[in-house]
Structure 1
Amino acid sequence: MPNTIHLPHSPGRRRRILLAIVPFAVLFLFGNTALSSYVNSLWFSSLGYGEVFWKTLGMQWGVFAAVATTTFLLFYGTFFGLKRIHRDDLPGSHTIILNRQPVTIPLGSLMRWLSVGVSGVIALVSGLAISADWPVLARFWYTPKVAGGTLDPIFGRPLNFYLFTLPVWRLTADWLTTLALFAFGIAVLFLFIANGSRALEGRREHYIKPPWHGLSLASAFLLLMLAVRMYIGRFDRLLGDHTVFSGASYMDAHLMIKGLLILCVALLLGAAVATVSAFADRGRRWLGLAVLPAVISFVALQLFSWYVNSFIVKPNELVRERPYIGYNIEFTRKAYGLDRITQREFSAQTTVESADAANNQDTLKNIRLWDWHALQDTLRQIQEIRTYYDFPDIDIDRYDLNGTTRQVMISTRELNTEKLPESSRNWINEKLIYTHGYGITMNSVNGFTAEGLPLLMLGNMPVQSTVPGLTLARPEVYFGQLTDKDVYVKTSQKEFNYPQGQSNNLTSYEGSGGIVLGGRLRRLLIAFDRGDLAKLPFSDDIRPDSRLLMRRNIIARASALAPFLTFDSDPYIVVGGDGRLSWIIDAFTTSETFPYSRHFNFAGDSINYVRNSVKVVIDAYDGTTTFYVFDPQDSIVGSYRNMFPGLFKDGSAMPETLRTHVRYSELLLKLQAEVYGLYHVTDPEMFYNREDLWTPASESSVDAQGQRSTQPIAPNFVLMKLPGESGTEFVNILPFTPANRNNLIGWIAGRSDGAHYGSAVVYNFPKTKLVDGPLQVEARIDQNAELSGQLTLWNQQGSRVRRGNLLVIPIGNALLYAQPIYLQAERSPMPELRLVVLALQDRLVYGPTFEAAMAGLFGGAASSTSTAQQTQSGTPSPAASRNPKERPDPKASCSARIPEAAKYLSDYQRLTSEGKLGAAGAKLEELKHALDELAACK
């Protein structure tokens, strides 16, 4: 007798086994999820968004349960149905040889358990996959009611159909088509097993007829889902990108959309035939006929499309595609907000008078001479104080200081625990003591001390202010860009605040942010979730009122609260009217299903619709996070507001002291400039011929090895008076050049202040006038003999020249070009401003200070690389003013200048290597005078 493997078959015994297994399976699969959900609920509640968490969790689990249950029933039903269809052909058991002993496997019971297991796994995977896309379904459920609105020109559907309904149709169709493919595969597997069993048993007379029933039904389901995909695919024709334009083409509108509908009907007919074949006597033949209508329709569609494309479209492409190019232009401009941009003419005159300096003093006083890279290097030397501080970014903003609006540069002093000494890297220091950064630095964009350092308005520790009324009430930075680790506050340990002489200033957290740790059980659960099980439950420093500050990275914090938004990776810090520090993050709603709009890359995603609808404000001390809606016309953010009414506030609710620092998003302006470069052309024929393609201007950059390359110029924040406007405002500007050329053709300005916030203006230059671009102005700098020679000399003898960004600033009816040039010693990481270059179209000047360069540009003074006046300026040299009888012998004077020049050179080299660039520059000028006199001796 062969041995038999017995599987549990008694219902009572099976139930007991399941009851024993299920709790462990649930704990294994969902234990971590449940614990994480518990801690997340505490975190959301600590921010006042508990309702957001529970509603999100409910939607996720609701979607998961619905999809998983449906998937399980479909798959288990498929297994069950196929098993019944093939019950006469499936073997009940199978005997194998193990250790020379026959062993019988009960295949019937094994397949029953296998069907449950496979169905459960596929249901679990499907549920998790679809629940991850819960925002797509939620947007559809909470679609805002909009009366009227724009309709697409092909199907006549409203835009909300493409933004909300079509993504759900796609998601559902993809899910069901995947299930249909699995069901078809299972049917093929059952057919293979059944035919194999018949072949082994020698039952040839019934080899064909019975096993095809299951495959026919599975084929009908698959053909049905393919028909649905074809129907939805008709709308996808409006979303594709072609070489010249995007959206439906002539062939799509006149052939493919109708052809896909015919193919859809053919697939439905095939599904009906396949269903009939499951019950027909000759099911195999009927099943073969089921796919025939779809095959014929597909082949005919391909032939017709080849004919139409080759003989109707290609010979007359512009004529045929003209209306569809027009649709693409109209809808792309709408999708990226280009239809909100105002166009104006800018004469780009070249004279000094056209700059109208007298009426543009606010613009001239706020020209940014500090390149942010140079400023960051300098701050890291003079304001980090300790090695564990860092300045991760430099922000540019405007502030009302003593009744005058000034453009300033701000950087946050954050704590980087990775830079703590290795001996200090322990749990107490990293979690309880070193918990926060401290303060900010603020300097004017063009302020320099006598030593070439930034002129700080806020700086040092404790924070010192040089501007009356500008103070910090809460300089501690618990939430920032480098705060990636959890910390515990309100503990028995005092927190490090800032270094103070030989000791440290200590503090204790006084805010209301964070999760209260509470009793031992709650503390144990939190520790398990946060991976701190070995320390947190056993620390004597942790009290019941202690708090956990988690998700302190501001981008991660905002993303956890609103994962359906796209966030700018470059937030900026703001000093509020109450002296508190707050972060502002630009948040965007995006879509990839806006009809007739071209796709572009944005923040790593391919999109064809974007709105900067939300501004997120995060308090740097207690982490309070608020979402303000600044574009209520955006229907996507409208659906999110319907979904989470407690999460969003109107933009008008933002405190005025923060509202004055809201800006036009740099990330959005870069994207709009890229799109506008092609879609500023609204005539389909010019668009088709690419006659007027623009690109953002480029500038040169030099790496650490001295290799020069070109890169697109970054948008530049400027406090200026726009041409044609009466007041000074904070704008974000970016110049354009024609494609593959270096001269300027226009510029775009994103406006940030007051009622103009969110609007943009494009200034077009005359196409008959050649206006220098940044690369051409830099070439003019390189070709200036004296300036180029000075830069070459500075680049030697232990120092390196660093050229700041070339700024292109519209002023009056002219363009002003400004570039700061720094000198940096090899042994000193601090660059020092040595020259300022200013230029108009027909004039280039430079000076050691901005005032000197301005005097050269508008006052006619001679350019100079030194603060000392040259003899050519009209002031006689000491030698020239002497009485001829008192003049020394020329040969003796020349001989004396040789060792003097050598000494100047030696002093210059020494001072440069010591980082004393100001004194080194003076010695260099003396060396030049000595060399000039030696040259005159010849």
Structure 2
Amino acid sequence: MTKGKKVISILIAAFIIGTLFFNEIILFITDLQWFQDLGYERVFLKKIQTQLMLGVPIFFLSGFFYYYYFRFMKNRYEKKIASFHQTVSNKTINRWLLLPASLMAFITATSIAGQYWWQLLTFRHQVPFAINDPVFGNDLAWYFFTWPLLREGLGTFITLLFLLVLITAIFFGAMVFLRRPTLVEVSEGENPRTQMLNRFLSFGAGNLVVLGVLFFLTTGARFFVSLYDILYSPQGAVYGASFTDIKVNLPLYRIQMVVSVAAALLLWLGYQKKKKKLMIAAPILLLVVSILGQILSIGVERFMVEPNVLARETPYIERNIAFTRKAYNLDDVYEMEFDVDYRLTREDLEKNPQTINNIRINDYRPALESYNQLQAIRPYYQFKDVDIDRYTINDEYRQVFLSARELNMDRISDSAKTWLNMHLKYTHGYGAVLSPVNQVTTQGQPELFIRNIPPVSMIDKEITRPEIYFGELTNHYIIVNTDEMEFDYPMGEDNAETRFEGEAGIELKGINRALYALRERNFRIFLSGSISGESRIIFDRNVMDRVTKIAPFLHYDEDPYLIIHEGSLYWMMDAFTLGDKYPYATPYMEGNKNYIRNSVKVVVDAYHGTTDFYIAEPEDPVIQTYSNIFPGLFQPLEAMPEGLQQHIRYPQEIFDIQTVVYERYHMSNPSVFYLDEDLWNIAQERYSGQFQPVESQYMIYSLPEEEKEEFLLSVPYTPNRLNNMVAKLVARSDGEHYGELVLYRMPKDRNIYGPRQIEARIDQNERISQSLTLWGEGGSEVIRGNLLVIPVENSLLYVEPLYIRAANSESPPEVKQVIAAFGDDIVMENTLEEALESLFGAGPPSIPEEDDVPEEALPEEVIEEDDISEESPAERPEETPSYDFTDATVQEIIQEANRAFDEAQRASQQGDWAAYGEALNRLEEALRRLESQ
């Protein structure tokens, strides 16, 4: 071949490759620039480097193997056939063999490199757990990082063997075409065609026997690897290796290993000695051993284990309990008895002001509706969710709701959805709202500490950088620093405009404009006169997509939460390391996962887009392994700014998993555990008319043994099929105690009201049930919020807010009343302060006997005539004039009935029976009018 032809061939090959992989090349270049912009190009290149280091040698080695395998088969074919028509020369065929060999090598190399690059990295950089499994004595790192590589590698090798069988058949057909056999002269009485067929079979059989030998040897290796499957066996009394697994299945795997090797030898010997029975005996022997082993396993389980499970399985149950607790980080739960009493007084409340002042009477779901109705300001703004956090506000530790006002491009009118508006003009959300959990307005809406556009703060927290370029709804690319000014925020009939002052994004100079026009499939990027070389394109702005793209090997909490720090907005996310190879640990997560750690905290700047990963659990061997793979990706938690560290919280996602696991795994005694004698359930509450498991809740209160209030996440437990509270699991989030789990066990000698029992007593309270019925008339919806169980001193206080959603109205629910319960007393008042006053202000609440807490509320006290004192005219409330119902609507009648009912309550509490009678008359008239509508 001349030099010119070689150049043309190379150019043609380059053109074909470029055409086939054009999109991949564009994505590779632009993604590399994206990672470089964030300072993580080494993370991006690590995958490419590893795949090349793995794929290139495999390509050449496998290509060499395939080529000489094809040549070996060709030569063997020619030798076996002996006589054939030679239509193509040997040199030409050998040259042609390079093409299928190269194609097969490319497929093999890319599939192996693409599948095994991550397993190879974790294998090379693995960190020991310093915990050994109780059966084989291996460090658990072997099961996380080495064993999966062996399993999948053997599986791939078997796949390649089947592929070789297919290739052999195809190649045989090709050789028949290229080397068409001719009939040869044979001795008298022998059929030439039969002789040729025997030669064909001889050629094919030899190849298949070699592959069969390799298959049986690989099967023996797989049985060796499968030995460790018994550590994850579900067939016994508990998850993990059971009595039958250890006594029967483990020896069976070892026997199958030996038989597989013996089968390979028998197959080869049978072929060499031309003894078909010996060859057939190989797979039959392996099949018989497997069937007999399964029969023996079933027999031992049924006749030895099932009649006496506890005696046989106790050691394995103990292992399951211990390893499941370790896997879910429940092996160090601090347990203590919480000796609940009912002696809480007004003085006790005054000694715990932060606990009382942080009792949540607003729920995040109605709060979200309120934010979107009252603070969205414009249709294109949206509050996606409400985050729960705590701040020191005006020197007071407060629990708050916080939500970002993001720009939702789907809400922009269709006429405004031009390319310029979508990508150059409307670039960011603006500001946030913050409200305390314990305060509402007179209209029952959240009291906003930070509100409006631009943000107006009523507290000592300011938002000076309110623009949100990176968030939960930022799902489209933008181009900044263009000739077009960016929309900043609405300002009356006009709009304020701005320019992005950060450093995020990739400059669109040189070839970049063409690259990103191709990436986004929009040539306006290339042709627009508004874009210059100083303009920058910013993409992957959704915080979840952003962190997942950088570190896809972590599992992320679905709820990023907003933080205000030094006037700027940040997103914090919890990231978890997961695994499915923790021996003896019962899986409780999707994908059969049975290991989890909250090892990483991620912080994303909402304005600049900088993304930082901090190791929150450095003792986790999995995150240590990842850190070894990607040096520079993770920082120690101490490197996080202190102001951000103050907002680290124990994540609900891992806590909810732990609470479900602990329903059963709080039991330590194998007998009690197996029989489920002390099984717990997460307590139930009524929310919005339906019973559901209590949602884990962030609250601020002080633990019984602590003097200072903390930001805590907790959930109550009840015994199986019962509703009294038996325990409360608490996760700590503040300071040096972050991550600690504390279990408070309730007294066993008396009933401690569970949430569902309190809900039932609310339903049984005549005054409350009448009010709920009244408010539900006329189509209005009554929403019962979360029932909070709040420890105060050695007592438990229960609080539940009530919301009213007006019929045929788009207005958000309003906090109407607050129900509070303590001991046997339940009250419903307009505010939490009034409810606590009713419980503790006029005198000590009724205290049930410690050994006998009644299940139902005590009857209301009868007020003696002598106890009623005359009020002076100045003390008597002003009389409310009668209401004219002539032209009143149904809604107005309901509102008047509510007012009459409230006044009747107040009059009853104050002993003003004249006003009480007048209010009842007005209520009766309102109900009569309502009935006639």
Alignment TM-score > 0.5, same fold = yes
Q: What residue in structure 2 maps to residue 867 of structure 1?
A: none
Find the partner of 2:213 among 210, 217, 220.
220
Contact 1:818 1:838 in 2 (8 A): yes
Q: What residue in structure 1 maps to residue 726 of structure 2?
A: 745
- What letter corresponds to residue 831 of structure 2 in structure 1? T
Q: What residue in structure 1 maps to residue 836 of structure 2?
A: 854
Deviations 1:301-336 (A, max 9, x none): 223323322332222221111111111111111111
Unaligned runs of 5+ in 1: 1-9, 96-103, 703-707, 864-869, 883-892
- What letter corresponds to residue 297 of structure 1 in structure 2? V
Find the partner of 2:814 among 828, 832, 856.
832
> How well do the aligned residues superpose, as a CA RMSD in angstroms?
3.7
Contact 2:465 2:567 in 1 (8 A): yes
Q: Distance in 2 between matches of 1:694 and 1:665?
A: 22
Unaligned runs of 5+ in 2: 182-190, 847-862, 905-915, 929-933
* Pairs within 5 Å for 1:783-932: 783-826=764-807, 827-860=809-842, 900=882, 903=885, 906=888, 909-910=891-892, 921-922=898-899, 925=902, 932=920
SS of residue in 2 equivalent to 1:428:
helix
Find the partner of 1:596 among 563, 576, 584.
584
Find the partner of 1:625 among 604, 611, 616.
611
Contact 2:897 2:923 in 1 (8 A): no
Q: What residue in structure 1 maps to residue 249 of structure 2?
A: 256
Q: What residue in structure 1 maps to residue 908 of structure 2?
A: none
Deviations 1:263-305 (A, max 9, x none): 1121122223334455x14164443233244234323322332
Contact 1:92 1:107 in 2 (8 A): no
- What letter corresponds to residue 581 of structure 1 in structure 2? L
Q: What residue in structure 2 maps to residue 551 of structure 1?
A: 540
Q: What residue in structure 2 maps to residue 244 of structure 1?
A: 237
- What letter corresponds to residue 922 of structure 1 in structure 2? R
Q: CA deviation at 1:119?
A: 7.2
Q: What residue in structure 1 maps to residue 910 of structure 2?
A: none
Contact 2:686 2:784 in 1 (8 A): no
CA gap 1:442/1:758 in 2 versus in 1, 3 angstroms: same
2:692 is the alignment partner of 1:711? yes
Deviations 1:694-727 (A, max 9, x none): 222222333xxxxx43322221001110111111
Q: CA deviation at 1:136?
A: 2.4
Q: What residue in structure 2 maps to residue 782 of structure 1?
A: 763
Find the partner of 1:565 among 541, 554, 557.
554
Q: CA deviation at 1:515?
A: 1.4
Deviations 1:351-378 (A, max 9, x none): 5449942332211110111111110111
SS of residue in 2 equivalent to 1:339:
coil
Q: Distance in 2 between matches of 1:673 and 1:302?
A: 37
Q: Distance in 2 between matches of 1:620 and 1:476?
A: 8
CA gap 1:650/1:880 in 2 versus in 1, 3 angstroms: closer
Contact 2:680 2:718 in 1 (8 A): yes
- What letter corresponds to residue 435 of structure 1 in structure 2? T
CA gap 1:654/1:94 in 2 versus in 1, 3 angstroms: farther
CA gap 1:619/1:788 in 2 versus in 1, 3 angstroms: same
Q: Distance in 1 between matches of 2:923 and 2:717?
A: 46
Contact 1:91 1:107 in 2 (8 A): no
Q: What residue in structure 2 maps to residue 3 of structure 1?
A: none
CA gap 1:215/1:649 in 2 versus in 1, 3 angstroms: same
Q: Distance in 2 between matches of 1:760 and 1:904?
A: 62
CA gap 1:78/1:247 in 2 versus in 1, 3 angstroms: farther
Q: What residue in structure 1 maps to residue 124 of structure 2?
A: 141
Find the partner of 1:754 among 735, 738, 751.
735
Find the partner of 1:124 among 107, 130, 146.
107
Contact 1:94 1:107 in 2 (8 A): no
SS of residue in 2 equivalent to 1:447:
coil
Contact 1:266 1:293 in 2 (8 A): yes
Q: Distance in 1 between matches of 2:172 and 2:110?
A: 28
Q: Distance in 2 between matches of 1:685 and 1:418?
A: 58
Q: Distance in 1 between matches of 2:2 and 2:323?
A: 63
SS of residue in 1 equivalent to 2:705:
coil
Q: CA deviation at 1:934?
A: 7.7
Q: Distance in 1 between matches of 2:206 and 2:322?
A: 53
Q: CA deviation at 1:418?
A: 0.4
Q: What residue in structure 1 maps to residue 308 of structure 2?
A: 316
Q: Distance in 1 between matches of 2:621 and 2:443?
A: 54
Q: Distance in 2 between matches of 1:223 and 1:15?
A: 46
Contact 1:213 1:277 in 2 (8 A): no
SS of residue in 2 equivalent to 1:471:
coil
Q: What residue in structure 2 maps to residue 269 of structure 1?
A: 262
Q: What residue in structure 2 maps to residue 608 of structure 1?
A: 594
Deviations 1:100-149 (A, max 9, x none): xxxx9999989996995487368527734652453322111111367xx2
SS of residue in 2 equivalent to 1:155:
coil
Q: What residue in structure 1 maps to residue 572 of structure 2?
A: 584
Using the size of structure 1 for normalisation, the TM-score is 0.87
The farther-off stretch of 79-88 and 579-588 is: 79-88
Q: What residue in structure 1 maps to residue 520 of structure 2?
A: 530
Q: Distance in 1 between matches of 2:171 and 2:275?
A: 16
Contact 1:409 1:444 in 2 (8 A): yes
* Pairs within 5 Å for 1:363-378: 363-378=355-370
Q: CA deviation at 1:692?
A: 1.4
SS of residue in 1 equivalent to 2:54:
helix
SS of residue in 1 equivalent to 2:537:
strand
SS of residue in 2 equivalent to 1:711:
strand
2:675 is the alignment partner of 1:683? no
Find the partner of 1:328 among 297, 320, 335.
320
The farther-off stretch of 202-211 and 329-338 is: 202-211
2:683 is the alignment partner of 1:697? yes
Q: Distance in 2 between matches of 1:584 and 1:848?
A: 36
- What letter corresponds to residue 768 of structure 1 in structure 2? D
2:425 is the alignment partner of 1:449? no
CA gap 1:173/1:875 in 2 versus in 1, 3 angstroms: farther
Q: What residue in structure 1 maps to residue 860 of structure 2?
A: none
Using the size of structure 2 for normalisation, the TM-score is 0.87
Q: What residue in structure 2 maps to residue 44 of structure 1?
A: 35
Q: CA deviation at 1:72?
A: 5.0
Deviations 1:481-519 (A, max 9, x none): 011111111111111111111101111000011112222
Find the partner of 2:393 among 375, 383, 401.
401
Find the partner of 2:643 among 651, 657, 681.
657
Contact 2:344 2:793 in 1 (8 A): no
Contact 1:554 1:618 in 2 (8 A): yes
Q: CA deviation at 1:384?
A: 0.1
Q: Distance in 2 between matches of 1:339 and 1:694?
A: 18
Q: CA deviation at 1:232?
A: 0.7
Q: Distance in 2 between matches of 1:89 and 1:389?
A: 79
Q: What residue in structure 2 maps to residue 100 of structure 1?
A: none
Aligned length in residues: 882
Find the partner of 1:163 among 118, 128, 144.
144
CA gap 1:920/1:259 in 2 versus in 1, 3 angstroms: same
2:422 is the alignment partner of 1:430? yes
Q: Distance in 2 between matches of 1:909 and 1:413?
A: 33
Q: CA deviation at 1:159?
A: 1.4
CA gap 1:188/1:677 in 2 versus in 1, 3 angstroms: farther
Q: Distance in 2 between matches of 1:659 and 1:191?
A: 68
Q: CA deviation at 1:655?
A: 0.7
2:53 is the alignment partner of 1:62? yes
Deviations 1:4-53 (A, max 9, x none): xxxxxx99999899746532442234322222111111111111112222
Contact 2:67 2:97 in 1 (8 A): no
Q: Distance in 2 between matches of 1:268 and 1:776?
A: 65
Q: Distance in 2 between matches of 1:934 and 1:641?
A: 72
CA gap 1:635/1:14 in 2 versus in 1, 3 angstroms: farther
